[in-house]
């Protein structure tokens, strides 16, 4: 597994991983598969980090540990100086597909994660992110009537509108066709730079 860094952000550590180890246990046989061993990683605020490696090397496992969905078997994971003990709304994990709620419109999906704003502020936030991800005109559309790329745009907008401190993305454009993926990648980089988000 390798880590590519873009050192444009200020060097404030936000994620710190020390000597993390993880094994999956097969409950029927009792045998274990060691997936992560001796993982050390520091991620600074505003960095856009890519974890690269072959299929099965443990990228999703590591992201799930960072997001608080899986506990590490040993080692330490801290975010903003606090040990990660579970998921938090300050960290959002976006998957390859299937993250949008099919029973909500684009507008309702994006509004879903917004906490602590007035009705007017919520609407303004939704409008801002609808526009940012290029979905103006589709606010009242349900996900089934969107393309795969548009659905991932909804998911990105929903995540950004919730204003997390860190965005974890697990091959978010992996299910899209090549050209859409290229476009989404370059749009994502532009949006994340504009939003000053920490992205892994």
Q: Which residues bind Mg ion (CB under 5 A)?
A: 59-60
Quick one: what does residue 33 bind among ligand ADP, Mg ion, none, with the CB cut-off 5 to 8 Å set by partner type? ligand ADP
Quick one: what does residue 124 bind among ligand ADP, Mg ion, none, with the CB cut-off 5 to 8 Å set by partner type? none
Question: Is residue 28 at the binding interface for ligand ADP, with CB under 6 A as the rule?
Answer: no
Q: Tokens at residue 90, please?
A: 């300050």
Q: For residues 63 and 61, what is the distance between their CA atoms, to the nearest angstrom?
A: 5
Task: Check: CB of residue 199 under 8 Å from CB of residue 173.
Answer: no
Smallest separation, CB 182 to ligand ADP (Å)? 21
Q: Which is nearer to ligand ADP, 59 or 107 (CB)?
A: 59
Smallest separation, CB 63 to Mg ion (Å)? 8
Task: Check: CB of residue 166 under 8 Å from CB of residue 14.
Answer: yes
Q: Tokens at residue 157, please?
A: 């907008």
Task: Check: CB of residue 139 under 8 Å from CB of residue 105.
Answer: yes
Smallest separation, CB 96 to Mg ion (Å)? 8
Q: For residues 12 and 15, what is the distance between their CA atoms, to the nearest angstrom?
A: 9
Residue 19 carries which DSSP code?
E
Question: Is residue 59 at the binding interface for ligand ADP, with CB under 6 A as the rule?
Answer: yes
Q: For residues 143 and 154, what is the distance between their CA atoms, to the nearest angstrom?
A: 9
Question: Is residue 57 at the binding interface for ligand ADP, with CB under 6 A as the rule?
Answer: yes
Quick one: what does residue 182 bind among ligand ADP, Mg ion, none, with the CB cut-off 5 to 8 Å set by partner type? none
Quick one: what does residue 112 bind among Mg ion, ligand ADP, none, with the CB cut-off 5 to 8 Å set by partner type? none
Q: For residues 70 and 84, what is the distance between their CA atoms, to the nearest angstrom?
A: 10
> Which residues contact ligand ADP by CB under 6 A?
24, 33, 35, 53, 55-61
């Amino acid at each position: 597994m390798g880590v590519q860094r873009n050192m444009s952000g200020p060097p404030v550590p936000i994620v710190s991983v020390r000597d993390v180890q993880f094994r999956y246990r097969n409950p029927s046989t009792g045998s274990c598969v060691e997936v992560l061993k001796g993982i050390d990683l520091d991620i600074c605020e505003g960095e856009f980090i890519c974890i690269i490696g072959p299929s099965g090397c443990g990228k999703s496992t590591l992201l799930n540990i960072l997001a608080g969905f899986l506990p590490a078997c040993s080692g330490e994971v801290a975010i903003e100086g606090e040990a990660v003990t579970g998921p938090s709304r300050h960290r959002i994990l976006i998957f390859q597909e299937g993250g949008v709620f099919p029973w909500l419109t684009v507008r309702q999906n994006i509004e879903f994660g917004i906490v602590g704003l007035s009705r007017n502020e919520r609407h303004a936030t939704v409008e801002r992110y609808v526009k940012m991800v290029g979905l103006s005109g589709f606010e009242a559309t349900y996900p089934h009537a969107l393309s795969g790329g548009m659905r991932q745009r909804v998911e990105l907008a929903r995540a950004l509108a919730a204003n997390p401190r860190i965005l974890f993305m697990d091959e978010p454009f992996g299910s899209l066709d090549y050209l859409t993926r290229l476009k989404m990648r370059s749009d994502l980089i532009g949006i994340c730079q504009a939003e000053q988000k920490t992205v892994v």
